[in-house]
Amino acid sequence: PRSNKGSFWSGEGVTRFLQASDLALAEGRSGLCNKMRSSRFVARRLSYAAWSKVEAAPADPILGLTQSFKDDPAPTKVLLGVGAYRDGASKPYVLPSVKRAEERVIASLTDHEYAPISGVPDFIAKSIAFAYGPEIASQKPVAGVQALSGTGACRLFFELMARLPQIAPPMAAAATPGKKPIAYVPEPTWGNHLKIAADAGVEVRRYRYLDATTKTSLDFEGMMADLATLEEGSSILLHACAHNPTGVDPSRDQWKAIARALGEKKVQILIDCAYQGFASGDPEEDAWALRHFVWEGHNVALAQSYAKNFGLYGERVGALSFVCNSTEEKANLESQLKALIRPMYSNPPVHGARVVSEVLGDPELAAQWRQECKSMADRIKDMRQALRSSLEDDQKSPKDWSHITSQIGMFAFTGLTKDQVLYMRKEFNVYCTADGRISVAGLTNDNVAYVAQAIHAATQHA
Protein backbone atom coordinates (compact mmCIF):
# COMPACT_ATOMS: atom_id res chain seq x y z
CA PRO A 1 0.00 0.00 0.00
CA ARG A 2 1.28 3.45 -0.89
CA SER A 3 1.19 6.40 1.47
CA ASN A 4 1.37 10.13 0.93
CA LYS A 5 3.67 10.31 3.93
CA GLY A 6 6.62 8.68 2.24
CA SER A 7 7.99 6.58 -0.60
CA PHE A 8 6.74 3.08 -1.18
CA TRP A 9 10.38 2.08 -0.71
CA SER A 10 10.53 3.47 2.84
CA GLY A 11 11.16 0.88 5.51
CA GLU A 12 7.63 1.23 6.95
CA GLY A 13 5.94 0.78 3.57
CA VAL A 14 7.91 -2.35 2.71
CA THR A 15 7.26 -3.83 6.16
CA ARG A 16 3.48 -3.34 5.85
CA PHE A 17 3.52 -4.85 2.37
CA LEU A 18 5.38 -7.98 3.41
CA GLN A 19 3.24 -8.41 6.54
CA ALA A 20 0.07 -8.30 4.44
CA SER A 21 1.48 -10.81 1.99
CA ASP A 22 2.55 -13.20 4.74
CA LEU A 23 -0.89 -12.92 6.37
CA ALA A 24 -2.56 -13.83 3.09
CA LEU A 25 -0.35 -16.85 2.72
CA ALA A 26 -1.10 -17.99 6.25
CA GLU A 27 -4.86 -17.68 5.77
CA GLY A 28 -4.81 -19.41 2.39
CA ARG A 29 -6.48 -16.52 0.63
CA SER A 30 -5.17 -17.38 -2.82
CA GLY A 31 -6.75 -14.42 -4.58
CA LEU A 32 -5.19 -11.89 -2.25
CA CYS A 33 -1.95 -13.85 -2.28
CA ASN A 34 -1.78 -13.74 -6.06
CA LYS A 35 -2.52 -10.03 -5.99
CA MET A 36 0.31 -9.51 -3.53
CA ARG A 37 2.67 -11.57 -5.64
CA SER A 38 1.70 -9.53 -8.68
CA SER A 39 2.25 -6.28 -6.79
CA ARG A 40 5.61 -7.46 -5.55
CA PHE A 41 6.60 -8.41 -9.13
CA VAL A 42 5.60 -4.97 -10.44
CA ALA A 43 7.53 -3.31 -7.66
CA ARG A 44 10.63 -5.34 -8.42
CA ARG A 45 10.36 -4.58 -12.13
CA LEU A 46 10.06 -0.87 -11.44
CA SER A 47 13.24 -0.96 -9.38
CA TYR A 48 15.21 -1.58 -12.59
CA ALA A 49 13.61 1.24 -14.56
CA ALA A 50 16.94 3.10 -14.78
CA TRP A 51 17.95 1.02 -17.81
CA SER A 52 14.54 -0.07 -19.08
CA LYS A 53 14.48 2.78 -21.62
CA VAL A 54 18.03 2.31 -22.95
CA GLU A 55 18.21 2.52 -26.73
CA ALA A 56 20.04 -0.07 -28.81
CA ALA A 57 23.64 0.83 -29.62
CA PRO A 58 24.71 1.01 -33.27
CA ALA A 59 25.83 -2.37 -34.58
CA ASP A 60 29.54 -2.94 -34.96
CA PRO A 61 30.21 -2.61 -38.72
CA ILE A 62 32.49 -5.67 -38.88
CA LEU A 63 30.16 -7.91 -36.87
CA GLY A 64 27.19 -6.63 -38.86
CA LEU A 65 29.00 -7.47 -42.09
CA THR A 66 29.69 -10.99 -40.84
CA GLN A 67 26.05 -11.49 -39.93
CA SER A 68 24.93 -10.35 -43.38
CA PHE A 69 27.36 -12.85 -44.87
CA LYS A 70 26.00 -15.65 -42.69
CA ASP A 71 22.43 -14.81 -43.69
CA ASP A 72 23.29 -14.88 -47.40
CA PRO A 73 22.28 -18.26 -48.95
CA ALA A 74 24.43 -17.80 -52.07
CA PRO A 75 26.89 -20.72 -52.51
CA THR A 76 29.47 -18.41 -54.10
CA LYS A 77 29.57 -15.90 -51.23
CA VAL A 78 32.97 -14.73 -49.97
CA LEU A 79 33.75 -12.94 -46.70
CA LEU A 80 36.70 -10.52 -46.78
CA GLY A 81 35.87 -8.52 -43.68
CA VAL A 82 37.01 -10.29 -40.53
CA GLY A 83 40.51 -9.65 -39.21
CA ALA A 84 41.42 -13.22 -38.34
CA TYR A 85 43.75 -15.54 -40.22
CA ARG A 86 42.29 -18.41 -42.22
CA ASP A 87 44.15 -21.25 -43.89
CA GLY A 88 43.87 -22.24 -47.55
CA ALA A 89 40.56 -23.97 -46.83
CA SER A 90 39.12 -20.85 -45.13
CA LYS A 91 39.39 -22.54 -41.71
CA PRO A 92 40.77 -21.12 -38.44
CA TYR A 93 44.39 -22.15 -37.91
CA VAL A 94 45.87 -23.36 -34.65
CA LEU A 95 49.64 -23.06 -34.83
CA PRO A 96 51.19 -26.47 -33.98
CA SER A 97 53.87 -24.77 -31.86
CA VAL A 98 51.18 -23.01 -29.84
CA LYS A 99 49.27 -26.29 -29.46
CA ARG A 100 52.41 -28.05 -28.19
CA ALA A 101 53.05 -25.23 -25.74
CA GLU A 102 49.46 -25.36 -24.52
CA GLU A 103 49.71 -29.09 -23.90
CA ARG A 104 52.81 -28.51 -21.79
CA VAL A 105 51.11 -25.74 -19.82
CA ILE A 106 48.12 -27.95 -19.07
CA ALA A 107 50.30 -30.96 -18.17
CA SER A 108 52.31 -28.90 -15.68
CA LEU A 109 49.29 -27.09 -14.22
CA THR A 110 49.35 -27.06 -10.43
CA ASP A 111 46.85 -24.32 -9.61
CA HIS A 112 44.38 -21.75 -10.87
CA GLU A 113 45.61 -18.97 -8.61
CA TYR A 114 45.30 -15.29 -9.47
CA ALA A 115 48.12 -13.69 -11.38
CA PRO A 116 49.70 -10.59 -9.82
CA ILE A 117 47.93 -7.35 -10.71
CA SER A 118 50.56 -6.65 -13.36
CA GLY A 119 50.26 -10.12 -14.87
CA VAL A 120 52.43 -13.20 -15.30
CA PRO A 121 56.00 -11.97 -14.61
CA ASP A 122 57.73 -14.37 -17.01
CA PHE A 123 55.36 -13.41 -19.82
CA ILE A 124 56.02 -9.70 -19.29
CA ALA A 125 59.81 -10.18 -19.36
CA LYS A 126 59.67 -12.34 -22.49
CA SER A 127 57.30 -9.92 -24.24
CA ILE A 128 59.69 -7.04 -23.64
CA ALA A 129 62.65 -9.04 -24.99
CA PHE A 130 60.61 -10.26 -27.97
CA ALA A 131 59.56 -6.76 -29.05
CA TYR A 132 62.53 -4.59 -28.14
CA GLY A 133 65.23 -7.20 -28.69
CA PRO A 134 67.70 -8.53 -26.11
CA GLU A 135 70.04 -5.52 -26.28
CA ILE A 136 67.44 -2.90 -25.45
CA ALA A 137 65.75 -5.20 -22.95
CA SER A 138 69.03 -5.63 -21.06
CA GLN A 139 70.26 -2.04 -21.31
CA LYS A 140 67.11 0.04 -20.86
CA PRO A 141 64.72 0.06 -17.90
CA VAL A 142 61.37 -0.93 -19.39
CA ALA A 143 58.21 -0.85 -17.30
CA GLY A 144 55.70 -3.47 -18.35
CA VAL A 145 52.37 -5.06 -17.49
CA GLN A 146 50.25 -7.77 -19.05
CA ALA A 147 47.16 -6.42 -20.79
CA LEU A 148 43.93 -7.69 -22.31
CA SER A 149 45.40 -7.98 -25.80
CA GLY A 150 46.09 -4.86 -27.85
CA THR A 151 42.75 -3.28 -27.05
CA GLY A 152 43.43 -3.46 -23.31
CA ALA A 153 46.98 -2.21 -23.75
CA CYS A 154 45.81 0.86 -25.67
CA ARG A 155 43.07 1.51 -23.12
CA LEU A 156 45.57 1.40 -20.23
CA PHE A 157 47.86 3.80 -22.08
CA PHE A 158 45.13 6.37 -22.68
CA GLU A 159 43.80 6.00 -19.15
CA LEU A 160 47.30 6.75 -17.90
CA MET A 161 47.56 9.80 -20.16
CA ALA A 162 44.23 11.06 -18.83
CA ARG A 163 45.37 10.91 -15.22
CA LEU A 164 48.93 12.21 -15.72
CA PRO A 165 48.07 15.63 -14.24
CA GLN A 166 47.03 13.88 -11.02
CA ILE A 167 50.07 11.57 -10.72
CA ALA A 168 52.89 13.66 -12.23
CA PRO A 169 53.28 17.02 -10.44
CA PRO A 170 55.10 18.76 -13.35
CA MET A 171 52.22 17.80 -15.64
CA ALA A 172 49.72 19.25 -13.16
CA ALA A 173 51.50 22.59 -13.19
CA ALA A 174 51.35 22.79 -16.99
CA ALA A 175 47.82 21.42 -17.37
CA THR A 176 44.88 23.65 -18.32
CA PRO A 177 41.94 23.00 -15.99
CA GLY A 178 39.10 21.21 -17.78
CA LYS A 179 41.13 20.50 -20.91
CA LYS A 180 41.23 16.92 -22.11
CA PRO A 181 44.55 15.30 -23.02
CA ILE A 182 45.06 15.05 -26.79
CA ALA A 183 45.97 12.02 -28.87
CA TYR A 184 46.80 12.07 -32.58
CA VAL A 185 45.98 8.99 -34.65
CA PRO A 186 46.50 8.34 -38.36
CA GLU A 187 43.74 8.93 -40.89
CA PRO A 188 42.61 6.22 -41.23
CA THR A 189 43.34 3.90 -38.32
CA TRP A 190 41.77 0.86 -36.70
CA GLY A 191 38.27 2.04 -35.81
CA ASN A 192 38.51 0.90 -32.21
CA HIS A 193 41.46 3.24 -31.55
CA LEU A 194 39.07 6.19 -31.69
CA LYS A 195 36.60 4.65 -29.25
CA ILE A 196 39.28 3.44 -26.85
CA ALA A 197 40.86 6.88 -26.55
CA ALA A 198 37.55 8.74 -26.36
CA ASP A 199 36.16 6.44 -23.67
CA ALA A 200 39.30 7.09 -21.62
CA GLY A 201 38.54 10.83 -21.71
CA VAL A 202 41.07 11.72 -24.41
CA GLU A 203 40.42 14.16 -27.27
CA VAL A 204 41.22 12.42 -30.55
CA ARG A 205 42.75 14.32 -33.45
CA ARG A 206 43.95 13.05 -36.82
CA TYR A 207 47.15 13.32 -38.80
CA ARG A 208 47.32 12.59 -42.50
CA TYR A 209 48.43 9.09 -43.46
CA LEU A 210 46.70 7.55 -46.47
CA ASP A 211 46.89 9.57 -49.66
CA ALA A 212 43.42 11.06 -50.20
CA THR A 213 43.82 10.92 -53.99
CA THR A 214 45.14 7.41 -54.59
CA LYS A 215 43.61 5.88 -51.42
CA THR A 216 46.29 3.19 -51.72
CA SER A 217 49.60 4.85 -50.76
CA LEU A 218 51.22 6.85 -47.97
CA ASP A 219 50.79 10.62 -47.90
CA PHE A 220 54.25 11.10 -46.45
CA GLU A 221 54.47 14.84 -47.10
CA GLY A 222 51.08 15.44 -45.51
CA MET A 223 52.01 13.28 -42.55
CA MET A 224 55.26 15.14 -41.95
CA ALA A 225 53.50 18.49 -42.21
CA ASP A 226 50.98 17.41 -39.58
CA LEU A 227 53.68 16.05 -37.26
CA ALA A 228 55.27 19.49 -37.27
CA THR A 229 52.12 20.95 -35.73
CA LEU A 230 51.56 18.46 -32.89
CA GLU A 231 50.53 20.15 -29.68
CA GLU A 232 53.08 19.98 -26.88
CA GLY A 233 52.25 17.39 -24.23
CA SER A 234 49.98 15.40 -26.54
CA SER A 235 50.29 11.74 -27.55
CA ILE A 236 50.68 10.23 -30.98
CA LEU A 237 49.82 6.70 -32.05
CA LEU A 238 51.92 4.91 -34.66
CA HIS A 239 51.47 1.42 -36.14
CA ALA A 240 54.65 -0.63 -35.82
CA CYS A 241 54.01 -2.63 -39.00
CA ALA A 242 51.17 -3.81 -41.24
CA HIS A 243 49.13 -0.65 -40.73
CA ASN A 244 45.49 -1.45 -40.04
CA PRO A 245 43.38 -0.96 -42.12
CA THR A 246 45.52 0.06 -45.10
CA GLY A 247 48.53 -2.28 -45.15
CA VAL A 248 50.57 0.81 -46.08
CA ASP A 249 53.81 1.16 -44.08
CA PRO A 250 56.54 3.82 -44.24
CA SER A 251 59.89 2.78 -45.69
CA ARG A 252 62.92 2.63 -43.40
CA ASP A 253 64.08 6.04 -44.62
CA GLN A 254 60.64 7.45 -43.96
CA TRP A 255 60.61 5.92 -40.46
CA LYS A 256 63.95 7.61 -39.78
CA ALA A 257 62.50 10.97 -40.85
CA ILE A 258 59.44 10.40 -38.64
CA ALA A 259 61.64 9.61 -35.66
CA ARG A 260 63.69 12.79 -36.25
CA ALA A 261 60.57 14.92 -36.56
CA LEU A 262 59.07 13.56 -33.34
CA GLY A 263 62.41 14.07 -31.61
CA GLU A 264 61.81 17.79 -31.95
CA LYS A 265 58.40 17.60 -30.28
CA LYS A 266 57.49 17.08 -26.63
CA VAL A 267 54.96 14.32 -27.18
CA GLN A 268 54.29 10.83 -25.88
CA ILE A 269 54.66 8.12 -28.52
CA LEU A 270 52.50 4.99 -28.45
CA ILE A 271 53.47 2.28 -30.93
CA ASP A 272 50.76 -0.30 -31.53
CA CYS A 273 52.26 -3.65 -32.53
CA ALA A 274 49.67 -6.29 -33.41
CA TYR A 275 51.47 -8.18 -36.18
CA GLN A 276 55.07 -8.84 -35.14
CA GLY A 277 56.23 -11.79 -37.21
CA PHE A 278 52.99 -11.98 -39.15
CA ALA A 279 53.54 -8.89 -41.31
CA SER A 280 56.76 -9.77 -43.13
CA GLY A 281 57.28 -13.28 -41.78
CA ASP A 282 60.26 -12.05 -39.73
CA PRO A 283 59.65 -10.74 -36.19
CA GLU A 284 62.95 -8.83 -36.21
CA GLU A 285 62.05 -7.02 -39.41
CA ASP A 286 58.61 -6.16 -38.09
CA ALA A 287 60.14 -4.68 -34.91
CA TRP A 288 62.65 -2.52 -36.78
CA ALA A 289 60.77 0.77 -36.49
CA LEU A 290 60.13 0.30 -32.76
CA ARG A 291 63.77 -0.48 -32.05
CA HIS A 292 64.97 2.40 -34.22
CA PHE A 293 62.89 4.85 -32.19
CA VAL A 294 64.41 3.56 -28.95
CA TRP A 295 67.98 3.65 -30.25
CA GLU A 296 67.33 7.24 -31.37
CA GLY A 297 66.52 8.16 -27.77
CA HIS A 298 62.73 8.03 -27.77
CA ASN A 299 61.14 6.72 -24.58
CA VAL A 300 58.19 5.13 -26.33
CA ALA A 301 55.20 3.19 -25.06
CA LEU A 302 54.35 -0.10 -26.76
CA ALA A 303 51.05 -1.95 -27.02
CA GLN A 304 51.50 -5.62 -27.96
CA SER A 305 48.96 -8.22 -29.05
CA TYR A 306 49.42 -11.97 -29.53
CA ALA A 307 46.07 -12.50 -31.27
CA LYS A 308 47.22 -12.51 -34.89
CA ASN A 309 50.81 -13.75 -34.72
CA PHE A 310 50.11 -16.58 -32.22
CA GLY A 311 46.50 -17.21 -33.25
CA LEU A 312 45.40 -16.62 -29.64
CA TYR A 313 42.42 -14.45 -30.56
CA GLY A 314 40.12 -15.54 -27.75
CA GLU A 315 42.75 -15.66 -25.01
CA ARG A 316 43.18 -11.86 -24.96
CA VAL A 317 46.96 -11.90 -24.51
CA GLY A 318 48.84 -8.62 -24.71
CA ALA A 319 51.26 -6.31 -22.96
CA LEU A 320 51.85 -2.61 -22.40
CA SER A 321 55.36 -1.33 -21.80
CA PHE A 322 57.20 1.98 -21.43
CA VAL A 323 60.88 2.75 -21.98
CA CYS A 324 62.09 4.65 -18.91
CA ASN A 325 65.10 6.73 -17.88
CA SER A 326 65.80 4.94 -14.59
CA THR A 327 64.82 1.97 -12.47
CA GLU A 328 63.10 4.37 -10.08
CA GLU A 329 60.96 5.76 -12.91
CA LYS A 330 60.19 2.17 -13.98
CA ALA A 331 59.05 1.21 -10.47
CA ASN A 332 56.92 4.34 -10.09
CA LEU A 333 55.25 3.82 -13.45
CA GLU A 334 54.50 0.17 -12.79
CA SER A 335 52.91 1.12 -9.48
CA GLN A 336 50.62 3.59 -11.27
CA LEU A 337 49.71 1.01 -13.91
CA LYS A 338 48.76 -1.44 -11.17
CA ALA A 339 46.65 1.29 -9.57
CA LEU A 340 44.80 1.58 -12.90
CA ILE A 341 44.38 -2.15 -13.38
CA ARG A 342 43.18 -3.06 -9.90
CA PRO A 343 39.75 -1.33 -10.04
CA MET A 344 39.36 -2.01 -13.77
CA TYR A 345 39.76 -5.83 -13.96
CA SER A 346 41.91 -6.66 -10.92
CA ASN A 347 44.36 -8.90 -12.77
CA PRO A 348 44.62 -10.55 -16.20
CA PRO A 349 43.92 -14.16 -17.25
CA VAL A 350 46.90 -16.50 -17.08
CA HIS A 351 46.40 -19.27 -19.62
CA GLY A 352 47.30 -17.49 -22.85
CA ALA A 353 50.20 -15.67 -21.20
CA ARG A 354 51.64 -18.98 -20.02
CA VAL A 355 51.33 -20.41 -23.53
CA VAL A 356 53.20 -17.46 -25.08
CA SER A 357 55.88 -17.71 -22.38
CA GLU A 358 56.31 -21.40 -23.13
CA VAL A 359 56.82 -20.73 -26.84
CA LEU A 360 59.20 -17.78 -26.42
CA GLY A 361 61.13 -19.49 -23.65
CA ASP A 362 61.90 -22.72 -25.51
CA PRO A 363 64.38 -22.37 -28.42
CA GLU A 364 62.89 -25.33 -30.30
CA LEU A 365 59.31 -24.12 -29.95
CA ALA A 366 60.33 -20.55 -30.76
CA ALA A 367 62.03 -21.69 -33.97
CA GLN A 368 58.96 -23.74 -34.89
CA TRP A 369 56.70 -20.77 -34.21
CA ARG A 370 58.84 -18.53 -36.42
CA GLN A 371 58.49 -20.97 -39.30
CA GLU A 372 54.74 -21.31 -38.83
CA CYS A 373 54.29 -17.58 -38.58
CA LYS A 374 56.32 -17.15 -41.77
CA SER A 375 54.09 -19.69 -43.51
CA MET A 376 51.03 -17.59 -42.59
CA ALA A 377 52.72 -14.43 -43.88
CA ASP A 378 53.79 -16.22 -47.06
CA ARG A 379 50.22 -17.39 -47.74
CA ILE A 380 49.05 -13.79 -47.44
CA LYS A 381 51.76 -12.68 -49.88
CA ASP A 382 50.80 -15.45 -52.31
CA MET A 383 47.14 -14.40 -52.21
CA ARG A 384 48.11 -10.78 -52.82
CA GLN A 385 50.07 -11.80 -55.90
CA ALA A 386 47.29 -14.11 -57.10
CA LEU A 387 44.67 -11.36 -56.80
CA ARG A 388 46.82 -8.84 -58.63
CA SER A 389 47.69 -11.34 -61.38
CA SER A 390 44.05 -12.31 -61.86
CA LEU A 391 42.99 -8.66 -62.13
CA GLU A 392 45.75 -7.79 -64.58
CA ASP A 393 46.06 -10.99 -66.62
CA ASP A 394 42.66 -12.67 -66.47
CA GLN A 395 40.33 -9.67 -66.17
CA LYS A 396 42.56 -7.38 -68.25
CA SER A 397 41.78 -4.55 -65.85
CA PRO A 398 43.23 -1.24 -67.08
CA LYS A 399 43.67 0.02 -63.51
CA ASP A 400 46.98 -0.03 -61.62
CA TRP A 401 46.84 -2.82 -59.01
CA SER A 402 50.49 -2.67 -57.90
CA HIS A 403 49.39 -1.51 -54.45
CA ILE A 404 47.89 -4.95 -53.77
CA THR A 405 51.41 -6.40 -53.59
CA SER A 406 53.25 -3.34 -52.23
CA GLN A 407 51.02 -3.20 -49.15
CA ILE A 408 51.77 -5.62 -46.32
CA GLY A 409 49.97 -7.71 -43.74
CA MET A 410 46.50 -9.15 -43.45
CA PHE A 411 44.63 -6.16 -44.87
CA ALA A 412 44.69 -4.52 -48.27
CA PHE A 413 43.17 -1.17 -49.13
CA THR A 414 41.84 -1.77 -52.62
CA GLY A 415 40.87 1.80 -53.43
CA LEU A 416 37.28 0.71 -54.12
CA THR A 417 34.55 3.23 -53.38
CA LYS A 418 31.54 2.54 -51.17
CA ASP A 419 29.31 2.19 -54.24
CA GLN A 420 31.71 -0.34 -55.74
CA VAL A 421 31.79 -2.31 -52.48
CA LEU A 422 27.99 -2.41 -52.42
CA TYR A 423 27.93 -3.48 -56.08
CA MET A 424 30.19 -6.45 -55.29
CA ARG A 425 27.97 -7.39 -52.39
CA LYS A 426 24.76 -7.22 -54.43
CA GLU A 427 25.97 -8.76 -57.70
CA PHE A 428 28.66 -11.19 -56.53
CA ASN A 429 27.94 -11.78 -52.83
CA VAL A 430 31.48 -10.65 -51.97
CA TYR A 431 31.59 -8.93 -48.59
CA CYS A 432 34.18 -6.37 -47.47
CA THR A 433 34.01 -3.18 -45.43
CA ALA A 434 32.56 -0.03 -46.98
CA ASP A 435 35.96 1.69 -47.16
CA GLY A 436 37.26 -0.93 -49.60
CA ARG A 437 39.44 -2.77 -47.11
CA ILE A 438 39.70 -6.50 -47.66
CA SER A 439 41.12 -9.18 -45.40
CA VAL A 440 43.53 -11.00 -47.66
CA ALA A 441 43.28 -14.00 -45.31
CA GLY A 442 39.78 -14.55 -46.73
CA LEU A 443 41.22 -15.28 -50.18
CA THR A 444 41.94 -18.86 -51.26
CA ASN A 445 43.09 -20.56 -54.43
CA ASP A 446 39.45 -21.50 -54.99
CA ASN A 447 37.90 -18.03 -54.71
CA VAL A 448 40.59 -15.53 -55.68
CA ALA A 449 39.68 -15.52 -59.40
CA TYR A 450 36.01 -14.98 -58.53
CA VAL A 451 36.90 -12.09 -56.22
CA ALA A 452 39.05 -10.56 -58.97
CA GLN A 453 36.07 -10.84 -61.34
CA ALA A 454 33.88 -9.07 -58.76
CA ILE A 455 36.38 -6.28 -58.21
CA HIS A 456 36.87 -5.72 -61.94
CA ALA A 457 33.13 -5.65 -62.57
CA ALA A 458 32.63 -3.18 -59.71
CA THR A 459 35.25 -0.81 -61.15
CA GLN A 460 33.54 -1.00 -64.55
CA HIS A 461 29.91 -0.64 -63.53
CA ALA A 462 29.70 1.19 -60.18
Active site residues: 190, 272, 308
Q: Report d(CA 304, CA 101) in Å as an integer.
A: 20
Decide the pairing of beta strands 437-439 and 142-148: unpaired
Q: Report d(CA 241, CA 273) in Å as an integer.
A: 7
DSSP letter (8 states) at residue 394: I
| Residue 281, CB-side half-sphere exposure with 13 Å CA sphere | 11
**Which long-range contacts link 162-170 to residues 24+ away (Cβ below 8 Å)?**
162/200, 162/201, 162/202, 163/340, 167/336
Determine the angle formed by the axes of helices 30-46 and 11-27, rounding to 10 degrees: 150
State the distance between the two ends of the chain, measured CA to CA, in whole angstroms.
Answer: 67
* Contact criterion met (CB below 8 Å) for 235 and 266: no
Largest CA distance in the chain: 89
Q: Report d(CA 340, CA 394) in Å as an integer.
A: 55
DSSP letter (8 states) at residue 93: -
How far from 455 is each of 215, 388, 415, 431, CA to CA, in Å?
16, 11, 10, 11
* Contact criterion met (CB below 8 Å) for 277 and 286: yes
Q: What Rg do the C-alpha atoms of the chain give, in angstroms?
A: 27
DSSP string, 125-167: HHHHHHHH-HHHHHHS-EEEEEEEHHHHHHHHHHHHHHHHHHH
The helix/strand/coil state of 430 is: strand
Reported as type and span, the H/E element at residue 342 is helix 327-344
